[in-house]
Amino acid sequence: MGKGVGWGVGWGVAEGLAVRLTRAGPLAVAADCDVAAGETLALVGPSGAGKSTLLKAIAGLVPASGVVRVAGQDWQALPAWRRRVGLVAQGGALFPHLDALANVMIAQRAPDAAAARALLAAMRLDEGVAARRPAQLSGGEQMRVALARALARAPDLLLLDEPFAAVDPPVRRALVRLVADVRRQSRAPMIIVTHDLAEAAGLADRAAFMVAGRIVEQGPPAALLADPGSQLARWLAGDITEKT
């Protein structure tokens, strides 16, 4: 299998993602989806629908039954630390006791400060930022470091959970452009959770609408938004609600 180069690291060229997962309990999930190599799926739906839980189950951070297959490999047989997934959690989830550079390096298979600095530079972060801890960074800077850390794993799969939330509109636009750049550099399948449907339409090839732990509808975002009969359009109109 060939390898490309992006952001100063070697990329594993993924063959796609297949998910067939069920999870019981208060955070129940029963979701099926496929994401091809180089494709982005936007996961949208009401708060409490299970979007973040599904991402965590794919990454192996919460237990679930079924199938997670990436690049032809059965990930359900792997612990979370062996899954080559680049995960950007809500708020970035950086290690507070580490500076930005160390937060990126901790995700590398072999420590490489030069490669980590190159990733931070690709995220438009300078050397001054590299030496700061998360509490000294703005929300936008934290998300850029989190994205650099996700890329440092040379992932076969990218999972982004509300990466643009809680930042000002100008920073939000810059982060959207960065994610679009990542998308052009990588063939890894990507799932992005977002509540902003304009972002979904601009970044994703397909949208999946999730309600009560189930993906109930999938299709091109623009087509779903334009169809008044789609479940996504009905949700926007207030016809579909979800208790949280």
pLDDT, tens digit (0-9, with 9 covering 90-100), for 123-132 = 888 888 999 9
Q: Which segment of 24-38, 136-150, 220-234 scores lowest on mean pLDDT?
A: 220-234
* C-alpha closest to that of 210 among 9, 19, 31: 31
CATH superfamily, with its number, for domain 34-84+155-244: P-loop containing nucleotide triphosphate hydrolases (3.40.50.300)
pLDDT tens digit string along 132-178?
Answer: 999 999 888 898 899 889 888 888 999 999 887 767 777 777 778 77
List Cα–Cα distances, 143 to 23, 87, 104, 178, 184, in angstroms: 29, 11, 12, 11, 19
> What is the reported pLDDT for 240?
65
* pLDDT on residue 241: 61
Q: Distance between CA atoms of 137 and 130, rounded to whole angstroms?
A: 10
Q: Return the structure tokens found at 220.
A: 């091109």
Highest-scoring range by mean pLDDT, 38-42, 87-91, 176-180 = 38-42
User: Where residue 83 falls among pLDDT bands split at 50, 70, 90?
Assistant: very high
Residue 51 has pLDDT above 80, yes or no: yes
The domain ranges of the chain are 34-84+155-244, 96-154
What pLDDT score does 149 carry? Answer: 92
- Distance (Å, whole) CA 206 – CA 224: 9
Q: Determine the Cα–Cα distance for residues 142 and 149; give it in Å rounded to an integer.
A: 10
Helix 139-152 vs helix 113-122: angle between axes, to the nearest 10 degrees? 130
Whole-prediction pTM value? 0.84
Please give the pLDDT value at position 185.
76
Q: Give 228 or 64, the one with higher predicted confidence.
A: 64
pLDDT, mean of residues 92-115:
91
Complete edge-to-edge strand list for the sheet that includes strand 157-161 = 85-88, 157-161, 190-193, 40-44, 206-211, 214-219
Bigger pLDDT: 30 vs 236: 30
- Read off the tokens for 83: 């899954």
pLDDT of 123 reads 85
What is the residue-averaged pLDDT of the chain? 84
- Confidence band (pLDDT; 50, 70, 90) for 10? very low
